[in-house]
């Protein structure tokens, strides 16, 4: 009984454990499906560790390619966070997962100084897509095309500055562009168009055949308070539903009352909490 380094061949038992915690494991399940357990420094890859008891896993933590520790370890988050960092030999740039687990990981890793650029105990929402409510009106939601990459990259940069505490630097701009290009290439970045103009954008930051997790929902200031966020989310979920997805989750800050109301207006319900702590620009 104890921590083990996961390797190719362990995918089935990792998925079996994660499937028992569906609403807070989407990032891990999506990355596992997309990149497996091998780590070569590529996007979506990571160093995976698990807590093993009688050949079954009771916890999983991944130290991802971009430095984030993603946790799903109800009873062993601290031990696995410490083990994952030791196995990867890389700096921890962020923590994601159920909030109580992040607190345990942060204490054992002594990640108090410098203070994080962003830390939030978010509200977690879930929705069965059979209950999705589509807002009325003349609007179009579609996947990002080549002609929209520039404006969506600007949306992404503004999002990470406003919402995640990133600095308005050239490095942030380049990172935002790369993120949009990568997610768009997977068919998971969407725009909302009204009268031919892009007014809002959002993405799936995790996806498996039956469930998606939304993120990066952003409306420029000049277009806010017009119901665009709920429309882009409803539109992209309608696309996912038509492709066989049955459930969606998202998380947002407790102070984001207007965002919460927008999501509740299309059917989302509060189901728990999720945490995000960052020490570097996303």
Q: What is the CA radius of gyration of the chain?
A: 18
Residue 240: pLDDT band (50, 70, 90) is: very high
User: What pLDDT does residue 281 have?
Assistant: 58
Weakest-pLDDT range from 107-116, 223-232, 261-270 = 107-116
Name the CATH superfamily, with its identifier, for domain 128-274: Gcn5-related N-acetyltransferase (GNAT) (3.40.630.30)
Question: Which pLDDT tens digit goes with each residue over 76-94?
Answer: 999 999 999 999 999 999 9
What are 214's strand-pairing partners? 204
Mean pLDDT calculated for residue range 219-245: 96
Residue 113: pLDDT band (50, 70, 90) is: confident
> For the chain, which residues make up each domain, given as ranges?
2-113, 128-274
User: What pLDDT does residue 282 have?
Assistant: 58
What are 123's strand-pairing partners? 252, 273
Ramachandran assignment for 39, one of left (phi > 0), alpha (psi -120 to 50 degrees), beta (any other): beta
The answer, as to whether pTM is greater than 0.85, is yes
Question: Which pLDDT tens digit goes with each residue over 7-53?
Answer: 999 999 999 999 999 999 999 999 999 999 999 999 999 999 999 99
User: What pLDDT does residue 114 have?
Assistant: 83
Q: How many CB atoms lie within 10 A of CB 183?
A: 22
How far is the CA of 30 from the CAs of 27, 129, 167, 250, in angstroms? 5, 19, 28, 14
User: What pLDDT does residue 164 have?
Assistant: 87
Residue 117: pLDDT band (50, 70, 90) is: confident
Which tokens in the block code for residue 232?
């882009």
Residue 115: pLDDT band (50, 70, 90) is: confident
Phi, psi of 222 (to 5 degrees): -65, -20
What are 247's strand-pairing partners? 128, 211
Task: Note the CATH number of domain 2-113.
Answer: 3.40.630
Mean pLDDT calculated for residue range 60-68: 97
Residue 242: pLDDT above 80?
Answer: yes
Residue 139: pLDDT above 90?
Answer: yes
Q: Do domains 2-113 and 128-274 have the same CATH topology?
A: yes
Phi, psi of 8 (to 5 degrees): -50, 130
3-class SS at 14? Answer: helix
Mean pLDDT calculated for residue range 238-253: 96
Q: How many CB atoms lie within 10 A of CB 240?
A: 23
Which tokens in the block code for residue 58?
């009771």
Question: Which pLDDT tens digit goes with each residue over 165-219?
Answer: 889 999 999 999 999 999 999 999 999 999 999 999 999 999 999 999 999 999 9
User: What pLDDT does residue 173 have?
Assistant: 96
Task: Kindly report the average pLDDT of the chain as a whole number.
Answer: 95
Whole-angstrom distance, CA of residue 169 vs CA of residue 192? 27
Q: Is the dihedral of CA 252, 98, 176, 204 positive or negative?
A: negative
């Amino acid at each position: 009984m104890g921590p083990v380094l996961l390797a190719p061949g362990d995918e089935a038992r990792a998925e079996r454990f994660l499937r028992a915690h569906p609403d807070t494991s989407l990032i891990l399940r999506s990355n596992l499906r997309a990149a497996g357990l091998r780590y070569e420094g590529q996007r979506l890859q990571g160093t995976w560790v698990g807590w093993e008891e009688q050949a079954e896993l009771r916890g999983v933590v991944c130290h991802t390619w971009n430095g984030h520790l993603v946790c799903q370890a109800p009873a062993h988050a601290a031990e696995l966070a410490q083990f994952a960092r030791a196995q990867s030999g890389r700096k921890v740039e962020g923590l994601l997962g159920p909030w109580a687990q992040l607190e345990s990981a942060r204490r054992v890793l002594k990640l108090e100084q410098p203070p994080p650029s962003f830390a939030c105990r978010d509200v977690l929402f879930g929705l069965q897509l059979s209950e999705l409510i589509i807002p009325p009106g003349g609007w179009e939601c579609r996947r990002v095309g080549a002609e929209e990459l520039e404006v969506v990259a600007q949306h992404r940069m503004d999002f990470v500055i406003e919402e995640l505490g990133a600095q308005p630097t050239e490095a942030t701009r380049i990172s935002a562009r790369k993120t949009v290009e990568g997610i768009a290439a997977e068919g998971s970045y969407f725009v909302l168009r009204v009268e031919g103009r892009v007014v809002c954008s959002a993405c799936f930051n995790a996806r498996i055949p039956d469930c998606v997790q939304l993120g990066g929902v952003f409306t420029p200031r000049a277009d806010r308070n017009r119901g665009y966020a709920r429309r882009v989310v409803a539109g992209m979920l309608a696309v996912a539903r038509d492709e066989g997805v049955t459930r969606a989750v998202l998380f947002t800050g407790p102070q984001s009352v207007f965002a919460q109301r927008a999501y509740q207006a299309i059917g989302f319900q509060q189901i728990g909490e999720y945490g995000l702590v960052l020490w570097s620009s996303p």
